[in-house]
Amino acid sequence: MRRREFLAASGIGLWPVRPAAFAAQSSPAPDAFRAVGSRVRVTGMKVFGVSLTPDSDRPYVFVKLETNQGVVGWGEATLEGKAGAALACLEDFREFIIGADPMQVEHHWQSMYVHSFYRAGPVMGSAISGIDQAMWDIRGKVLGLPVYQLLGGPFDPRGVRGYYHADSEDRDELLRLRQTALREGISCFKSGLPEYYEWIGTRAKIERAVRHIQGLREGLGPDIDIAVDFHAKTSPSVATIICKEVEPVNLLFIEEPCPPENVKAMARIARRTTVPIATGERLIAPYGCRELIEMGAIDILQTDINHVGGITALWKVAAMADASGISMAPHACEGPIGGMATLHVDAAMPNFLVQEICSGVQPGMKEKVWEEWFGFPAMRMVDGRFPLPEKPGLGFELSEASLKKFPFGGTRPMARVFHEDGSVAEW
């Protein structure tokens, strides 16, 4: 029997035409998409600096993409302490975007990242993040689906588990927070260390940090998860000492026990304690997260959708982490657009743990402004979870007029912190 006859007889012949399954996968898009989706083009880009207060060191940076089909998309490129630079970088990307097909999100992400030649730092990463979010918003609106459906659908229809911040050292206040949490279904809080703007290196400060963490557990009780942000204010050895002392507290995680760029030090800390280690809010692009993952330096990754490269990058990072048994607890301490965008990715992550929001249990001024902008209480939990948006795209509409009430007050530096001897300290 000749080879061709053998292949035909065994069912693995050289197909003269594509098999039905392959042909179906390669078939044209549905008529609705072919009629609109394939012809969408970006015709305009507007950028906004928004200061809720004149002296804010965290003015929001928003981007709006307009299309020839009347569909618009919103994204966020807020970068703490560098708002002016983020606004300028968005303008630099204008020629990449005008005339582009926003349905080809991955292509444009790659173009902005690769064709910039110099690899992304926080300024470029934030600009790419804002444009990427806006393109996903357009994509969802054109297809008539929330973005989380485009990512595979939600794992939990109840919404996205989250946590508020609780920095009190007062036992009575912590007991009140516990009662509120039990009443409202809140299952987690995060706190900083005492002496927030000071380096922790002396025995007295170490002992106070340990007492603070133990006090959180005593006040909040055994059934509420607690995370503690070290803000890289300790050396690796001091971080290890504190971690060992508080292991009985059973923390959800400790965040940034040392600067995230010191991967080997982070790995040493992780090996020396049973407390889960988290970091990631300062990392840019999937490539910036790879070494931490490969070295087993962390248990939880906290990448920020406004810096890492938007929805496209956050989704890739989550997949990288999932393949290594690492959970995701994304950072979100900027504005509401990035927060809303993060919820969509959270909902579809198989390795999602919990979502941050830099707010307290009671809504403050910014939360009230967000509700005015969106027409609903954005980034506020119900029964301990952020509700999933039901509208297409990112799930909200936003008017330019509402932003003009809060004109850009310029860039302000973030807190500058120094050691007692005058040397520069992490804040």
Domains of the chain by residue range: 42-148, 153-394
pLDDT score recorded for residue 10: 39
Question: What is the average per-residue pLDDT within 370-379?
Answer: 94
CATH class of 42-148: alpha beta
pLDDT value of position 392? 98
Give kind and range of the element (H or E) at residue 312: helix 310-323
Residue by residue, DSSP assigns 191-253 as EE-SSTTS---SHHHHHHHHHHHHHHHHHH-TTSEEEEE-TT-S-HHHHHHHHHHHGGG--SE
C-alpha closest to that of 212 among 220, 202, 222: 220
Across residues 92-119, what is the average pLDDT?
A: 95
Q: Is the pLDDT of residue 197 over 90?
A: no
Confidence band of 110 (pLDDT split at 50, 70, 90): very high
Question: Can 108 be counted among the known catalytic residues?
Answer: no
Among residues 165, 212, 331, 344, the one annotated as catalytic is: 331
Residues 326 and 303: beta-carbon distance below 8 Å: no
Q: Say whether pLDDT at 19 is over 60.
A: no
Length of the chain equals 427
Q: Does the pLDDT of residue 26 top 50, yes or no? A: no
Task: State mean pLDDT over 28-42.
Answer: 64
CA distance 283 to 360: 25
What percent of the chain stands above pLDDT 90? 77
pTM of the predicted protein model: 0.90
Name the active-site residue from 165, 231, 307, 344.
231
Q: Is 231 labeled as catalytic in the residue annotation?
A: yes
Q: What are the tens digits of pLDDT across the range 234-272? A: 999 999 999 999 999 999 999 999 998 999 999 999 999
Q: Which of 83-97, 249-263, 297-311, 409-423 has the lowest mean pLDDT?
A: 409-423
Q: Which residue has the higher pLDDT, 166 or 318?
A: 318
CA-nearest of 357, 353, 391, 311 to 155 is 353
CATH class label, 153-394: alpha beta
